[in-house]
Structure 1
Amino acid sequence: MTEKNPVLSPRSLTGKTALVTGSSRGIGADTVRYLADAGANVVINFRNKAPRAEKLAAQLRESGSEVLVAGADLTVVADIADMLSAVEQEFGGLDILVLNASGGMESGMAEDYALALNRDAQVNVLRAALPLLRPGARVVFVTSHQAHFIRTTPTMREYEPVARSKRAGEDALREFIPELESKGIGFVVVSGDMIEGTITATLLERVNPGAIASRRESAGRLYNVSEFAAEVARAAVDPVPGDNTRLVGDTSSFAGE
């Protein structure tokens, strides 16, 4: 995120608008920064941490970025509608939609929360955003190798419900590819290994001590938040892969689909 070594070409996204879900922290926040650094207008979405989202927005505005902060619980259809209405009013449409928000390991949530967020909410956001996506737009879905390859490679017991729900979300989103392509809109799944410093990695380590170190040893290295966010940002502008999939990091431990 420096002028000397930018992730995306400076001003390459000037005049474009990007919405990144779950972007008040972590991978989402760094993705927003990279897109803003390239000149995009950005929409920061959060569920319940408004001060954190506003702090990020203030930092980006100081650098000259146009920023909209949009609070929305993506499992609530009315919240999605309100968020996208605000985007339309502020920017007129969307050129980049990054579906980054995910979860399922949080305590105190309903039993079906992982599926509601990782599948149903993803579909509802994309469906509602379709009228706003301009020709040439890009949709990016962020997932993990543990989820992307769950049908052929088992994962940790504690993470399996989340992995299966995220794979269900990926499958449901892929059903939109023909419609998106007919409108000139690209779709890319970005899948990464465990990411150092994320909430999911922290929660997995809490319930399964040593899990991160074990995976790091097996993979050789793990990406950190900013490194993986850079790959997500690049997926928003790079040519769409033939299989609509961008695999980040080692995949030798995972069987093919």
Structure 2
Amino acid sequence: MSEYKGAIVTGSSRGIGAVTAQELAAQGLGVVINYRAKAPRANKIVAAIEDKGGKAVAIGADLTATEGPQALVDAAVENFGTLDVLVLNASGGMETSMGENYALRLNRDAQVAMLEAALPAMSAGGRVVFVTSHQAHFIKQVSTMEAYDQVAQSKRAGEDALREFIPKLAEKNINFVVVSGDMIEGTITATLLNRMEPGAIDARREAAGKLYSVEEFGAEVAKMVFADVETGHTELVGGAGDFLKQAEQ
């Protein structure tokens, strides 16, 4: 079992976040399940965790709203007594109904706001994990499909902004890790991209050799909560061979 007690996983009512949250709960952490609008889905994840003897609470919070991040921090402290782990999984930007600059507001500004809210409450020795994609992590060296470019640019901006916190995190002995994956089979982003650019998933599968499922990638994210790595480490899930090769050219 983990020495950590309380965790927040943003965007955890479905997909990668939900898998990550359940994996952490299985390791003995109490987990704040974060959702933006759909409480029943989040409550189902809480029930699944509790059915296995774990601890979780569902909290509705829009991370782009001023009060959103603090609500999650308060929930972790009130329910589990401590906040040790922050998994920054929530992302988006391909939605057409969320207003101007939504990708940047969610993928950069909200990530920073969440970390700023969490940091004063986080325990020494804790960990922050930022979940991203190879398409975003390598966007400065390797171009991506046009439909995803804005999201990729905003996620890379978020990663860069979070990395600037590493010295401040080090003062509390809090470790910062980035987990990057390729397109993930079955995610909303992959589905939307394939709809906008038919064949995109097949092309990425061929280039990568394998695309991870939601369950497989969520398990990898959870592993990096406990992995013995240096702060600032980037875990390239699946190896990212073709991205590394293009980045070197």
TM-score by length of 1: 0.92
- Matched with 1:212 is 201
Q: Is the CA contact 1:144–1:191 (under 8 Å) kept in the aligned structure 2?
A: yes
Q: Is the CA contact 1:194–1:201 (under 8 Å) kept in the aligned structure 2?
A: yes
AA matched with 1:116 = R
Aligned residues: 246
AA matched with 1:146 = Q
Deviations along 1:121-179, one digit per CA (max 9) or x if unpaired, are 00000000001110110000000000000000000000000000000000000000011
The structure 1 residue matched to 2:37, chosen from 34, 44, 48, is 48
The structure 2 residue matched to 1:227, chosen from 216, 227, 238, is 216
- Matched with 1:170 is 159
- Matched with 1:3 is none
SS of 2:33's equivalent in the other structure is strand
AA matched with 1:221 = K
Cα distance, 1:48 vs structure 2:
0.6
* RMSD of equivalent CA atoms: 1.3
Write the mapping of 1:63-102 to structure 2, written as runs, cut at 5 A.
63-102=52-91
AA matched with 1:179 = K
Q: Aligned partners of 2:49 and 2:15: how far apart in 1? A: 15
SS of 2:177's equivalent in the other structure is strand
1:195 maps to 2:184: yes
AA matched with 1:117 = L
- Matched with 1:111 is 100
Q: Any runs of at least 4 consecutive aligned residues in structure 1 with deviations exceeding 3 A, and if so which?
A: none
TM-score by length of 2: 0.95
AA matched with 1:95 = D
- Matched with 2:13 is 24
Deviations along 1:178-230, one digit per CA (max 9) or x if unpaired, are 11112110000000111111111011011011100011011111111111111
Greater alpha carbon shift after TM alignment, 244-253 vs 221-230: 244-253
Q: From the two aligned structures, give the one with the greater helix fraction.
A: 2
1:154 maps to 2:143: yes
Cα 1:102–1:125 shift into 2, 3 Å? same
Gaps of 5+ in 2: none
Greater alpha carbon shift after TM alignment, 13-22 vs 142-151: 13-22
Q: Is the CA contact 1:148–1:191 (under 8 Å) kept in the aligned structure 2?
A: yes
SS of 1:159's equivalent in the other structure is helix
The structure 1 residue matched to 2:234, chosen from 230, 245, 248, is 245
Q: Is the CA contact 1:92–1:132 (under 8 Å) kept in the aligned structure 2?
A: no
SS of 2:67's equivalent in the other structure is helix
Q: Identity of paired residues, percent?
A: 59
SS of 1:194's equivalent in the other structure is coil
Q: Aligned partners of 1:15 and 1:181: how far apart in 2? A: 17
Q: Is the CA contact 1:23–1:32 (under 8 Å) kept in the aligned structure 2?
A: yes
